[in-house]
């Protein structure tokens, strides 16, 4: 691939990014709204692959965890240029870039969903370690549906009422005091597909943003469950990503209902995509609640209509 150049992205690359992203996730791709922001984010770098003067691929590097971790995301290659090794070249060149420019980075982390066949194919050839798996659903919510409000009302229990809202200052305090240690696997806090360490310093890197909604339940002074939601605009409709940190069925129901009710209040009358991430042990409970009890519709994408998807988290040592 001597005619493939890897370089940093610029604003002038936006038309090419739009072209290569056409149809990605059936119009539910978050990246297009984030590209301009990522370019101006000092903790991120976007590397693009240019072939014969045309940008045909990209991947984002995000330096987090006080410089210890590189999270890579957004890998994509133009449909016409796939199966030419460009994706693998981007992955390696991003690692080379990190080694040269951020030598203190010890680990690379990334997530891959079960629909990303090409990316999983690349991963299978590697020695990267799978360290966590969650399940996510993709449900269409009609904010105008009075029936949904009625169904949500049936689940508005004492547990839902007792969930406490955590504002940014309170969230910082929780992180500083290490109150999430018992809830997280390998100290991993997931926000918008990214596996952060649960550190206050990561708030500047996107761990918390204005508009996020965090709810927690307490047992005495200890947090026993937590959920964190973030809105993301896409071509089709707004999307709400919600990560639920609990292994308890009743608490999961309480968090899902609370986050849904809050979302409808934030976007009254709008149709949006609700994407909750839950522990794999609660997949049946979540499916029953979302698809049967609340009668939410499953998203139909290029792969058909799936009940749920897997999200895999991988780690690679760079030292």
Are the C-beta atoms of 250 and 236 separated by less than 8 Å?
no
Name, in order, each residue with C-beta under 8 angstroms of 307's C-beta and a sequence gap of 6 or more: 137, 287, 291, 298
Write down the CATH number for the domain with range 134-312: 3.40.630
pLDDT per position as a tens digit, 195-216: 999 999 999 999 999 999 999 9
For residues 273 and 4, give the distance between their C-alpha atoms in angstroms, rounded to a whole number.
Answer: 37
Structure pTM? Answer: 0.91
CATH architecture of the domain covering 5-105: 3-Layer(aba) Sandwich (3.40)
The reply to whether 5-105 and 134-312 are identical in fold is: yes
Average pLDDT, the chain: 90
**pLDDT tens-digit map of 41-53:** 999 999 999 999 9
- Structural domain spans, the chain: 5-105, 134-312
Tens digit of each residue's pLDDT (9 = 90 or more) over 102-122? 999 999 999 998 876 566 666
The answer on pLDDT for 24 being more than 90 is no
Secondary structure (3-state) at 270: coil
CB 94 within 8 A of CB 61: yes
Whole-angstrom distance, CA of residue 90 vs CA of residue 100? 15
pLDDT of residue 319: 87
């Amino acid at each position: 691939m001597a005619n493939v150049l890897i370089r940093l992205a610029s604003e002038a690359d936006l038309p090419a990014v739009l072209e290569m992203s056409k149809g990605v996730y059936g119009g539910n791709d978050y990246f297009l709204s984030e590209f301009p922001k990522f370019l101006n984010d000092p903790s991120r770098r976007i590397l693009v692959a240019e072939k014969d003067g045309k940008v045909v691929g990209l991947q984002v590097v995000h330096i987090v965890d006080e410089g210890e971790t590189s999270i890579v995301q957004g890998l994509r290659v133009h449909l016409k240029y796939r199966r030419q090794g460009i994706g693998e070249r981007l992955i390696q060149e991003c690692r080379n870039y990190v080694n040269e420019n951020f030598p203190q980075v010890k680990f690379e982390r990334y997530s891959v969903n079960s629909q990303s066949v090409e990316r999983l194919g690349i991963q299978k050839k590697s020695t990267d370690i799978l360290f966590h798996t969650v399940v996510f659903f993709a449900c269409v919510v009609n904010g105008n549906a009075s029936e949904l409000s009625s169904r949500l009302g049936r689940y508005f229990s004492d547990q839902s009422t007792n969930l406490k809202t955590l504002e940014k200052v309170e969230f910082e305090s929780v992180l500083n005091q290490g109150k999430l240690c018992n809830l997280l696997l390998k100290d991993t806090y997931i926000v918008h597909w990214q596996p952060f360490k649960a550190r206050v310093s990561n708030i500047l890197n996107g761990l918390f943003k204005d508009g996020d909604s965090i709810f927690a339940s307490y047992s005495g002074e200890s947090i026993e469950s937590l959920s964190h939601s973030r809105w993301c605009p896409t071509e089709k409709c707004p999307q709400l990503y919600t990560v639920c940190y609990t292994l308890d069925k009743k608490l999961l129901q309480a968090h899902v209902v609370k986050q849904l009710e809050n979302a409808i209040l934030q976007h009254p009358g709008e149709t949006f995509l609700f994407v909750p991430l839950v522990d794999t042990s609660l997949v049946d409970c979540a499916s029953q609640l979302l698809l049967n009890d609340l009668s939410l519709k499953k998203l139909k994408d290029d792969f058909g209509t799936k009940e749920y998807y897997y999200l895999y988290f991988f780690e690679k040592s760079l030292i």
